[in-house]
């Protein structure tokens, strides 16, 4: 823990020890991405075709070229719904497509998993594979509706359409009030999603997210449906460009529609406040991967042995970082004028929003702390800035691993430490 204003260290315990950071790894990813891309960076998704357009008829395929934009989704407030993009294709004069809709994800390699992601995580939306052509964060919502009495079937609605998932519903309704449990199972490369568990009778409907097997195919299929919904006839099927033995020649392709994302500063705020893993993974790939992030950290003077980068999101248990390294990164973000405001504003506020909406609420720390939390099995972390009663800004990083007490006990200890920081005076 150190002062961002005075630059001196106030307290240190095992600060150089490598620890699993959980989602506080997103601090590292965002800092490197902001340095290399800039806060005004926007992702461009292009709708192109090499086929002639004759009197409203496109005499061939429509190709969607991805740039790694993670924000095209039906969730949240990002302005990237597929219907809106499809409407622009219609406005460009396309009334019928004689070919199909092809998703081009070649900007990224096809290994969409982070190193060390575990098999039991992969069916869930938070562990969806990452593609250069990403829709709905590569996942769908499963809307779960229990029956009214024990033994009744449980209904599952999958939204949006086009995921390619085949749901094997093994959920059962149990007596009210019962103990609820839900588990997802799906193997990589398979579209069969097993949903099993028990839901108490008359339980209110709820939503769980599930990853799709092929995010690029999901995008293409959903976009084909959006084109149809906007009155455009599509004769061909939706396909991933990797489905072709010989990939379509785009050398003479012209851009029909260009969709540009919000700037990185807005994407970052969304990523950090909901701890969105796929956003972080897309950012790491967009800057060129781990080696590029390492080069940034080296340029800031961080020692090679103070971090290990396995993925961008923190889902992997192969990530390691010292609290000292995190504090140095936060100090860099604070002291560099181009980073200070957008980075700080991306962090959740204690007692107000994101994962911190309930933590430290109603205490003197509410509204005075901006921080990123991290959680994986047997790891809890919180890293950020705290404003003292005297107006001084302090930087802190608290990492805990391999504990046997309940996670809430760790959080309570961290919160007590943060309260001490906000009450600190010289």
Q: Is 17 a catalytic residue?
A: no
Element (H, E) at 200: strand 192-200
Q: How many CB atoms lie within 10 A of CB 389?
A: 11
CA angle, 138 then 156 then 224, to 5°:
45
- With b meaning 16 or more CB within 10 Å and e meaning fewer, what string describes 163-175? bebebeeebbbbe
Bridge partner residues of 58 (DSSP): 53, 97
**What φ, ψ does residue 144 adopt, rounded to 5°?**
-100, 125
Residues 284, 33 contacting (CB under 8 angstroms): yes
Q: Is 23 a catalytic residue?
A: yes
The catalytically annotated residue of 2, 26, 211, 313 is 26
Residues 226, 79 contacting (CB under 8 angstroms): no
Q: Is 98 exposed, middle or buried (0-12, 13-18, 19+ CB in 10 A)?
A: middle
* DSSP code per residue over 91-126: HTT--EESS-EEEE-TTS-S--SPTT--TTTTTBGG
CA distance 252 to 243: 21
Q: How many CB atoms lie within 10 A of CB 97?
A: 25
* DSSP code per residue over 9-25: B---SSTTS-B--GGGH
**CA distances to 137, 169, 184, 208 from 194, in Å:** 20, 6, 6, 13
**What φ, ψ does residue 176 adopt, rounded to 5°?**
-95, 130
The catalytically annotated residue of 71, 139, 221, 275 is 275
**What φ, ψ does residue 272 adopt, rounded to 5°?**
-75, -35
DSSP structure class, residue 355: G
Q: Is 26 a catalytic residue?
A: yes
29 contacts: CB under 8 Å, gap ≥ 6: 280, 283, 284, 293, 312, 313
**Would you please indicate which residues are annotated as catalytic (active-site) residues?**
23, 26, 275
């Amino acid at each position: 823990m150190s002062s961002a204003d005075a630059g001196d260290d106030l307290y240190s315990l095992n600060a150089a020890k490598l620890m699993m950071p959980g989602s506080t790894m997103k601090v590292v990813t965002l800092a490197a991405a902001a340095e290399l891309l800039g806060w005004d960076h926007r992702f461009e998704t292009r709708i192109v075709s090499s086929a002639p357009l004759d009197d409203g008829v496109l005499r061939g395929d429509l190709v969607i070229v991805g740039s790694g934009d993670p924000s095209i989704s039906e969730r949240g407030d990002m302005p990237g719904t597929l219907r809106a993009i499809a409407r622009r294709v219609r406005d460009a004069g396309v009334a019928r497509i004689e070919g199909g809709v092809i998703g081009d994800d070649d900007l990224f390699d096809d290994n969409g998993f982070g190193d060390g992601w575990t098999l039991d995580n992969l069916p869930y939306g938070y562990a969806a594979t990452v593609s250069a052509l990403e829709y709905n964060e590569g996942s769908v919502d499963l809307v779960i509706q229990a029956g009214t009495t024990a033994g009744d079937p449980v209904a599952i609605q999958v939204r949006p359409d086009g995921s390619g998932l085949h749901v094997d519903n093994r959920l059962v309704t149990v007596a009210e009030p019962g103990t609820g449990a839900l588990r997802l199972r799906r193997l990589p490369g398979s579209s069969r999603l097993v949903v099993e568990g028990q839901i108490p009778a008359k339980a209110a409907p709820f939503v769980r997210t599930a990853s799709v097997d092929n995010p690029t195919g999901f995008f293409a299929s959903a976009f084909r449906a959006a084109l149809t919904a906007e009155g455009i006839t599509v004769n061909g099927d939706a396909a991933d460009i990797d489905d072709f033995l010989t990939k379509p020649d785009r050398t003479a392709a012209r851009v029909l529609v260009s969709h540009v994302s919000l700037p990185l500063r807005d994407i970052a705020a969304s990523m950090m406040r909901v701890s969105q893993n796929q956003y972080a993974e897309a950012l790491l790939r967009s800057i060129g991967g781990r080696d590029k992030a390492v080069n940034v950290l080296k340029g800031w003077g961080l020692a090679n042995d103070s971090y290990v980068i396995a993925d961008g999101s923190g889902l992997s248990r192969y990530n390691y970082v010292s609290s000292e390294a995190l504090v140095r990164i936060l100090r860099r973000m604070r002291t560099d004028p181009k980073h200070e405001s957008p980075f700080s504003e991306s962090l959740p506020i204690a007692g107000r929003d994101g994962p911190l909406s309930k933590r430290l609420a109603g205490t003197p720390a509410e509204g005075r702390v901006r921080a990123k939390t991290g959680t994986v099995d047997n790891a809890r972390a919180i890293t950020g800035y705290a404003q003292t009663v005297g107006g001084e800004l302090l930087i802190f990083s608290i990492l805990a691993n391999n504990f046997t007490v309940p996670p809430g006990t760790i959080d309570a200890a961290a919160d007590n430490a943060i309260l001490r920081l906000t009450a600190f005076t010289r």
